[in-house]
Amino acid sequence: MAPAQNRIEISYNGKTVALPLIEGTEAEAAIDIRNLRQQTGLITFDPGYANTGACKSAITFIDGEQGILRYRGYPIEDLAEKSTFLEVAWLLIHGELPSRPELESFSGEITRHTLLHENFARFFSALPKDAHPMPVCAAAVAAMATFYQEPESDDTIHKTVIRLLAKMPTIAAYSYKHYIGQPFIYPRNDLDYCSNFVRMMFATPCEEYEIDPLYAKTLDLLLILHADHEQNCSTSTVRMVGSSQANLFASISSGISALWGPLHGGANQKVIEMLEWIAQNDGNADRFVARAKDKNDTTRLMGFGHRVYKSYDPRATILKKYCEQILAKVPAGSPSAKLFDIARKLEEIALSDEYFVKRKLYPNVDFYSGVIYKAMGIPTNMFTVMFALGRMPGWVAQWLESRRDPDFKIGRPRQIYVGATKR
């Protein structure tokens, strides 16, 4: 039990109860309300859970005021510069950076599990030709539970995690090949994670595809930057679904669906659509910003604002730098270069506009990621799939942590009923 000074008192209906305070390792404090209803009959009301800590977690730390993001204590800037995606995946899942033999064994296992069962490959052909790749990926990950039905245990979970991380690039590439009506390209074991994915996307049986090493490095970096972001909408969904003891495939499929929404991962597609719209409508960024500020207009400046960051998203800072490098490779005046110019202009206007300054709205990770994907030739409807590919280790780590949590409980919020009384 917490000491007396670590309690907060609330009085209600003539009764005073003391609620313990909890403190995290970065001095974040919370009121432990687990016994609130039992002691007072009250529940809390917090739409969007903006003030609710749903769990204790040792995976990712964010300080939204100072723009800090760390995975397992390591600053995102250091991981972006020095690590690879698979190394970060191991870090998130296991809590420590891998030793060299651990990383080699992990990479080797992933490489050897990239193939999909041939029946599974045919699953895609049942879906409409113009199916958006995000629901296709969500359905395919859910369908993995039908191919791997062994009960989950400490022994089998490792294999399940490997299968997910290994097959997700294949599923993602197949969802795109299905969309454009090209034959599937099998994975190749001599390629690294990102090069293999891009080859499965762009090679055809008639023509090989050689990936530019800068593009492979940038894609790997993008996956690192998206790998985890604590209790966001999709991660909370994965935890919520997992809390019913649904299996990992089902939980992650739900996370992919949650990520698809335009206020979450779907924002990266919406950003590029916004930039293209501005480019096609006289390129006037000021006019678009005015619409985003107008309360009678539902338009938002996509890629701006964040529930947690009230300063520049550190991932956006890193991406802007890479954007400049990638854009240096495309011809001046090309569509991608024009979109980057508009993005910079939008940022400049918004960062000096009182509306955005007052509400602490800054570019988030999605603001520049789409411009990079576009310049690398990744199709717009695959942007959110790229986010899902990156977020996979984070979802896995969070799901595993919640399963091992001594406070583990099925997720089940309360409500304030405001409907008709008995009639």
Q: Is 130 a catalytic residue?
A: no
Residue type, 269: Q
Identify whether the C-beta of residue 140 lies closer than 8 Å to the C-beta of residue 133. no
> Distances in Å between the alpha carbon of 207 and those of 152, 203, 210, 306?
41, 6, 10, 42
Is residue 133 close enough to count as binding ligand CMC by CB under 6 A? no
**Alpha helices, H only, 183-232:** 193-202, 213-226
Q: Which of 178, 220, 306, 341 is catalytic?
A: 306
On whether the CB atoms of residues 215 and 375 are closer than 8 A, the answer is no
Element (H, E) at 62: strand 60-63
Regarding 319 and contact with ligand CMC (CB under 6 A), the answer is: no
Site string for ligand CMC, 27-56 (x = CB under 6 A): ---------------------x--------
Question: Stretches 21-29, 137-145, 193-201, 259-267: which one binds ligand CMC (CB under 6 A)?
Answer: 259-267
Under rule CB under 6 A, residue 304 binds ligand CMC: yes
Nearer to ligand CMC, 69 or 172 (CB): 69
| CA separation, residue 321 to residues 80, 282, 350, 410 (Å) | 12, 27, 19, 42
Please state the closest distance from residue 385 (CB atom) to ligand CMC, in A. Answer: 14
Which residue is it, tokens 């569509």?
335
Minimal distance, residue 242 CB to ligand CMC, in Å: 20
Q: Is 364 among the residues that bind ligand CMC (CB under 6 A)?
A: yes
Chosen residue from 306, 320, 345, 374 binding ligand CMC by CB under 6 A: 306
Q: Is 300 in the site for ligand CMC (CB under 6 A)?
A: yes
Residue tagged 């779907």 (tokens):
266
Entry field: residues in the chain: 423
In angstroms, give the least distance from the CB of 40 to ligand CMC: 28
C-alpha distances out from residue 402 to 31, 117, 243, 395, Å: 20, 30, 8, 11
Q: Which of 161, 365, 375, 389 binds ligand CMC (CB under 6 A)?
A: 365
Cβ neighbourhood burial of 109 (10 Å; 0-12, 13-18, 19+): middle
Give the residue with the Cβ less far from ligand CMC, 218 or 364.
Answer: 364
Among 163, 199, 229, 320, binds ligand CMC (CB under 6 A): 229
- Classified as helix, coil or strand, 297 is coil
227 is a contact residue toward ligand CMC (CB under 6 A): no
Q: What are phi and psi of 15, to 5 degrees?
A: -120, 135
C-beta atoms surrounding 313 within 10 Å = 27
- 263 counts as binding ligand CMC under rule CB under 6 A: yes
Task: Give whichever of 133 and 390 is closer to ligand CMC, judged by the CB atom.
Answer: 390
- Smallest distance from ligand CMC to CB 30, Å: 19
Q: How far is the CB of 308 from ligand CMC (least distance, A)?
A: 8
- Catalytic-residue membership of 366: yes
Task: Identify which range of 4-12, 202-210, 297-305, 338-346 contacts ligand CMC by CB under 6 A.
Answer: 297-305
Q: Does 265 engage in binding with ligand CMC (CB under 6 A)?
A: yes
Among 19, 366, 382, 399, binds ligand CMC (CB under 6 A): 366
Least Å from the CB of residue 48 to ligand CMC? 6
- Tally of CB atoms within 10 A around 353: 17
User: What burial letters (b/e) apply to 373-411, b meaning 16+ CB within 10 Å?
Assistant: bbbbebebbbbbbbbbbbbbbbbbbbbbbbbeeeeeeee
Which residue's Cβ lies closest to ligand CMC?
305
Choose the binding region for ligand CMC from 139-147, 156-164, 341-349, 362-370 (rule: CB under 6 A): 362-370
- Distance between CA atoms of residues 214 and 326, nearest Å: 8
Residue 302 lies near ligand CMC (rule: CB under 6 A) = yes
Residue 314 within binding range of ligand CMC, rule CB under 6 A: no
CB 140 within 8 A of CB 123: yes
What is the nearest approach in angstroms of ligand CMC to the Cβ of residue 220? 19
Query: Nearer Cβ to ligand CMC, position 110 or 227?
Result: 227
Residue range at the interface with ligand CMC (CB under 6 A); choices 66-74, 272-280, 305-313, 409-417? 305-313
Which three-class secondary structure string do you get for 96-133?
CCCCHHHHHHHHHHHHCCCCCCHHHHHHHHHCCCCCCH
Q: Which residues bind ligand CMC (CB under 6 A)?
A: 48, 229, 232, 263-265, 267, 292, 300-307, 359, 361, 364-366
Return the active site residues: 306, 366
